[in-house]
Amino acid sequence: MMRFVSDPATSLKIQKMQERVRWRNPKIVDRGIDQTRLAIQDDQEQDAFSFLVIGDSGSGRHPGHSPQRRIAEQMVAHREECRFILHTGDVVYLVGSSEFYPQNFIEPYREFIVGGDHPDKISFDQMVFNLPFLPVLGNHDYYDLPIFYGVLAQLSYPVRRVLRSKIDFDIRFHGSYQGKAFAQAFMDVLSSADQLGAHLDEHYTAESPTGRCLKYEAGKFTRLPNRYYTFRYGGIDFFALDSNTINEPIVGSTDKNDRQALIDRRNEIEHEKQQLLVEIARLDVNQPEESDQADDMRVKLQQLEEIQIDIEKQLNPQSGVAVDYEQLDWLRDRLIQSWRDPEVRGRIVYFHHPPYVTEATKWYQAQTFAVRYRLRQVFDDVVKQIDPKGRGIVDLVLNGHAHCFEYLRTVDTGHADSNIHWVVCGGSGYSLRRQREEGTEITEQNGSEERIVAKSQLFVGRSGQGNNKQRPYSFLRIDVTADDPVKFILRPFVSEWSKRQWHDRALDPIVIG
């Protein structure tokens, strides 16, 4: 079976990330430091503010155009009015490799990085942002490159040339090393600090309701304390999660027929992948029209790869630590604390894998249901402790993973995730995908009945066929009002690549609250 990527076990992801931040080291504990919190040092903080959201962006340049760069250029116009940028994951494709940070991140976002006038002189692990850049990990930020491809890439230039020019998956010699590149690029990697105590006393001096915490200073020291974290700005509590460690599929039916159906589907996908590779090899990627065809086929290849990974997780569930309950318990406790704090006007949660989505490749995946189920458990536990007084347990959930822009609302789900606003912002650079044919209403089986649990209000993704194909890439600006209860104004912006030209436009605002 041909595999372009490998996904580390959940237990390994947790272990490696904890080692990098010296999780609960005595010197950290003795100082009363909260390793999951940061404070943004900003003398412009007010109750009314704006911020930007992007996701699934980290792709290289396409022949003749660069979607990620186009979106970044449109974002620059909002830089002075916005206080920070949230990124919903998949910062660098295909395997989160440090080799591709210069091309797939630093170059496109150079205006947001100190020294960006000379992006070639910026090291990926020494970036300092002039506007706070606050990402979460996507699945590709954790992916590794199978040893087979790494060895071939080093021993055989022709093979490497074929992988890059035909498949063009942005792979060279290695992958992320279990998220190491992301940690070095964005997190405060305490494992490399020679004088840990002095480092903590210099940078972990901000005061918060949960103890001392890391001080995020734009233009000076722009690091995250952990793979999941929280911060407060303008009376809004933000919770950033690592959904890669809570998305393990829930063990379903053990029926032999169900298992065989999964095996058959996996084999069908493998056959389809082989056919696509043959078709790609016949195309001349230096020709614009054939380049677009190759791009579509590469997208399909990656879609099939993700489906295979999802099936493998169902067929071969992990032993040991497969669910990050420590993080889920942390979210539960912090949400309860947030609701009990009179200074908090609203709450936003953001992470990579969307619990609700109608993008064609994600809505049915076992990982989607797993994240939905586990987030529901947390929300249900929270409402046992607090009374939201008719409001949603959180005001807004932001996700990526699905390569589109989508706005959804849950209805009465029978759980505490009812009546919540959900936004998928995953169309900021990587190749886009279509909405499913089944429609805009998401249903669940409730005993013998099927009921609607969510409805898609807006979907912006790939559409059209052949020369009329439209690729609307996107980013989101959110304006937060000074009201209490707070209002959020969602302003989606689109840069559409169609007929080998760019067309930029702003969509109608969406008012929440």
Of 509, 512, 502, 510, residue with least CA distance to 69: 502
Average of pLDDT values for 315-343? 90
Q: How is the chain split into domains, by residue range?
A: 10-251+316-512
SS (H, E, C) 466-495: HHHCEEEEEEEEEEECCCCCCCEEEEEEEE
CATH class for the domain made up of 10-251+316-512? alpha beta
CA angle 98, 103, 108 (to 5 degrees): 120
10 Å CB burial of residue 126 (0-12, 13-18, 19+) is exposed
What is the per-residue pLDDT for 322? 82
The answer to whether 212 touches 34, Cβ cutoff 8 Å, is: yes
The answer to whether 88 touches 406, Cβ cutoff 8 Å, is: no
| pLDDT single digits (tens) 496-506 | 999 889 999 99
Band of pLDDT at residue 166, cut at 50, 70 and 90: very low
| pLDDT single digits (tens) 230-251 | 999 999 999 999 999 999 988 6
464 in the Ramachandran plot: left (φ > 0), alpha (ψ -120 to 50) or beta?
Answer: left
What is the per-residue pLDDT for 158? 44
The answer to whether 395 touches 348, Cβ cutoff 8 Å, is: yes
pLDDT of 171 over the 90 cut = no
Question: In the predicted model, what is the mean pLDDT of the chain?
Answer: 90
Length, in residues, of the chain: 513
Q: How far apart are CA 334 and CA 343, in angstroms?
A: 14
What is the per-residue pLDDT for 167? 47
Q: pTM of the entire structure?
A: 0.91
Of 197, 88, 115, residue with least CA distance to 423: 88
SS (H, E, C) 400-453: CCCCCEEEEEECCCCCCCCCCEEEEECCCCCCCCCECCCCCEEEEEECCEEEEE
Helix (H) or strand (E) holding 240: strand 236-240
What is the per-residue pLDDT for 163? 47
pLDDT of 319 over the 70 cut = no
Q: Cis (ω within 30 of 0) for the bond into 485?
A: yes
| pLDDT single digits (tens) 15-42 | 999 999 999 999 999 999 999 999 999 9
Band of pLDDT at residue 172, cut at 50, 70 and 90: confident
pLDDT of 58 over the 70 cut = yes
- Give me the sign of the Cα torsion angle 123, 124, 125, 129: positive
- DSSP conformation letters of 277-288: HHHHHTS-TTSH
Band of pLDDT at residue 321, cut at 50, 70 and 90: low
The answer to whether 487 touches 435, Cβ cutoff 8 Å, is: no
Band of pLDDT at residue 156, cut at 50, 70 and 90: very low
pLDDT of 312 over the 90 cut = no
Determine how many CB atoms are found less than 10 A away from the CB of residue 80.
Answer: 7
Place of tokens 């195309």: 283
pLDDT of 122 over the 50 cut = yes
SS3 52: strand
Q: How far apart are CA 397 and CA 69, in angstroms?
A: 26
